[in-house]
Amino acid sequence: MSADELITEHLDLWTGAVTQKSTRGRGSNSKIGLTGIKKLRELILELAVRGKLITQSSTSKPSSTLIANIEAEKAALVISGRIKKPKAIINVPEADYPFSIPKAWSWQALGALGYTQTGSTPSKSKSEFFGSDIPFLKPGDISENGDVRYENEGLTEAGKSALGKWAQKESILMVCIGTIGKCGLIERQSTFNQQINSITPYILETSRFLLLCLKSPYFQKAAWEKSSSTTISILNKGKWESIPVPLPPTEEQHRIVQKVDELMALCDRLEQQSSDQLKAHETLVDTLLGTLTQSENATELADNWARLAAHFDTLFTTEQSIDKLKQTVLQLAVMGRLVEQNPVDESAAELIVRVSMEKAQRQKRKRTQKAPCEISAEVKPFDIPKSWLWTSLFNTGFTSTGKTPSTKVPNFFSGNIPFLGPGQVTGSGEILAPEKFLSEDGLSLSEEAIPGDIMTVCIGGSIGKTAKITERCGFNQQLNKVRPVLIEPDYLLATLKADFFQNAVLAKATGSATPIINRSKWDSIEVPIAPLAEQKRIVQKVDELMALCDQLKQRLNQASETRCQLANTVVAAALD
């Protein structure tokens, strides 16, 4: 099967195999990774370096001719003084050939094909070394797809001379410390730091094919296997240049590079088409979900829900769309549109009076007293039923900010009481296993949370993440807590996870690089409170709909896993 047939006959598989790329931070949104197209790109490169991408030409000269030219050019460069005489590179023994290649090809150590160097950095204390005469590249200047940025930092001619090394145009750079494997071909003379190795092919017209080799899954895997690491992976130049690479005749290299460019352009079009379809799908989902929260009455809401339900299988086909459905459920819940109101229920106003009295009684026993927050006259985010009430978060229970006991006292962290920070609160509202545990003495100097308390991150990029506590614990100063009084904890949890509250947290936060909301501002955020009996009905309905969403997501993940496994099977079969 030709490469073109491999793509066209499995087109649905390549475009349909997707995975979710979780993103850290507030909320549980995720991005979709086009896994199938990524695997297709890798397959194209792997077929290229195995001699399976194009048919071999019987008229091509064998690679031995190219090797002789390489040796002659290397000798000429040494004689002219343009390069130092390289160390002898041991030929690749036949027993070490990674895979079979066409007869006209040969295996060569990477270092036998070009002049290799490891970069370095001139003294930072000498400002005269830094300027704009020649680019000075670092790993961050090489993108994952091989693009190279030259504008970030540069050296003067004096800095270049102090280094005594640089790579000419058409050289290939590869990151060999940390993010091992990123590589790119430079289009201008450049210097680079010690995290990068370079190879300048003795025959420059081999650069494009050599770049394909270094990008191929085979070479990337070999590079990682030869690296050593303690905390940071390192691949030294000696090991790097010893990795075998397959070398076709020059004319065939040109045809392979041309075919790869053609197929990669097709992958680009497939990727763009898939991205456009996903964006259109996302817009449709947003529009239809928006009709639910914008419904004027129960009849309109029922009609809009029926229209949505009729297309569930085609609308909710990504984790992102299912997460948006969950958020819509929460929004409907806090707007009072998820369940019917019952006129015999105690009103929210009466409930908040009881909450205030209960808080006062408990505060007297603790000999602490704080005045309730005043309700602002600002326009509320949305209308709520007449039996409901807008009130501050502070008026729903007891709020507090966490504390960290002195880390200089080991005894404080010698117990088994979980100590939580923002890292333990996930975007989906789960509590992860903590890294630290407190003793009772440590907890007395922290802040205690008990089952039913609601916790919110109040600083940093994950500001707003919210979860319900399920076991006794302590927590640090980057978390705020509310302990509901006479309020259904799961109702308050749904309220604090809803978009309107998350937006309010960001709006009241200060700082751009590191947003932070102090507790008084957090306390003052107004929340819609339903009658207690209705809160219980809302929680029951939310749980029911969230379970439906989780079932949708489970089926989606199973289908996605199956498509990815099929893509792997096709790749494996193509390489056999």
HEC letters along 345-394: CCCHHHHHHHHHHHHHHHHHHHCCCCCCCCCCCCCCCCCCCCCCEEEEHH
Contact between 315 and 285 (Cβ < 8 Å):
yes
**pLDDT value of residue 567:** 77
What is the helix (H) or strand (E) element at residue 473, kind and residue range? strand 473-475
Q: Choose among 218, 219, 224, 229: nearest CA to 199.
A: 219
Measure CA of the first residue to CA of the last residue in the chain; give whole Å: 12
Contact yes or no for 568/348 (Cβ under 8 A)? no
Cβ neighbours of residue 133 under 8 Å, at least 6 residues apart? 154, 155, 156, 157, 159, 160
- C-alpha to C-alpha distance for 206 and 74, rounded to whole angstroms: 14
Q: What is the pLDDT of residue 30?
A: 46
Nearest residue to 383 (alpha-carbon basis) of 334, 327, 347: 334
What is the per-residue pLDDT for 25? 44
Give the global pTM.
0.73
Note the pLDDT of residue 317.
83
- Sorted by sequence, the CB contacts under 8 Å of residue 411 that are 6+ apart come out as 439, 441, 442
Nearest to 363 by CA among 397, 334, 336: 397
Domains of the chain, first to last = 1-60+251-342+534-576 (no CATH), 81-248 (3.90.220.20), 348-530 (3.90.220.20)
d(CA 212, CA 1): 22
Distance of CA 266 to the CA centre of its chain: 25
Q: How far apart are CA 355 and CA 395, in angstroms?
A: 8
- Give the residue from 119, 16, 11, 4 showing the smallest Cα distance to 52: 4
Side chain identity at residue 520, one-letter code: S
What is the pLDDT, as a whole number, of residue 373?
56
pLDDT digits (tens, 9 = 90+) for 71-123: 999 999 999 988 888 887 777 888 889 999 999 999 999 999 999 999 999 99
Contact 203, 66 (CB under 8 A): yes
Q: Do residues 178 and 123 make contact, with C-beta atoms less than 8 angstroms apart?
A: no
Position 374 scores a pLDDT of 56
The amino acid that residue 214 corresponds to is L
Q: How far is CA 152 from CA 130, 132, 560, in A?
A: 12, 10, 40
C-alpha dist (Å) from residue 75 to 69, 89, 291: 10, 14, 74
Mapping DSSP onto H, E and C, the string for 276-317 reads HHHHHHHHHHHHHHHHHHCCCCHHHHHHHHHHHHCCHHHHCC
Return the sign of the alpha-carbon dihedral for residues 261, 169, 173, 240.
Answer: positive
Which residues of the chain, if any, have pLDDT below 50? 23-30, 369
